[in-house]
Amino acid sequence: MASLMELKEIFRSADAVCFDVDSTVIREEGIDELAKFCGVGDAVAEMTRRAMGGTVTFKAALTARLGLIRPSYEQVQKLISDNPPQLTPGIRELVSRLHQRGVQVFLVSGGFQSIVEHVALQLNIPTANVFANRLKFYFNGEYAGFDETQPTAESGGKGKVIAHLKEQFHFKKVVMIGDGATDMEACPPGDCFIGFGGNVVRKQVKEKAKWYITHFDELLKELEER
């Protein structure tokens, strides 16, 4: 097991950094915001809490929550335009600094492609570097389920994405940063996990992560060290 010093060295010399999105890159949980927007906020927030605690499989929780929300295409688009996701303080600067250093940045999320791509655009991250769940709609715009073949639709999916990135781009060192159990589980194959508690603290992650931060400035400082 790597020490904190070794993890910091991996971060400083990483080829790629993968960020979770909900409650990490943005301040809110996208699915909870969508649920509130569609009038089923409380019921879905409780399901999210259980899913993030790691007590139910991610796919089961996602299926149940979306079954309650049943968002239409129009509702998703209106949510993005009326209540755009709020970036977490410091993330814009951190991503910009990583880009300057030639580090590839990816958004790996159990959230929804349309919302995550909107976030990527604000951070100058190419949409090809977005891995998220795709909602499906009928021709009339009604909810038709989600693409269950996406790796991010199931537990362990973020690790699969990292394994795929390593294989495709021959990355030697990949860092995963996030607030939840699904992010921590991505290492290995990720080489370093950094727990993030700036928006919400997940007890399990705070206790188990060797490196736990509450502000992205802490990572910016690490990059200034060399």
Instruction: Answer yes or no: 179 catalytic.
Output: no
Residue type, 155: S
| Cα angle: 61, vertex 189, 96; to 5 degrees | 85
Q: Which of 15, 22, 183, 217 is an active site residue?
A: 22
Q: Which of 20, 32, 183, 191 is an active site residue?
A: 20
Instruction: Answer yes or no: 32 catalytic.
Output: no
The separation between the first and the last C-alpha atoms of the chain, rounded to the nearest angstrom, is 24
Give catalytic residue positions: 20, 22
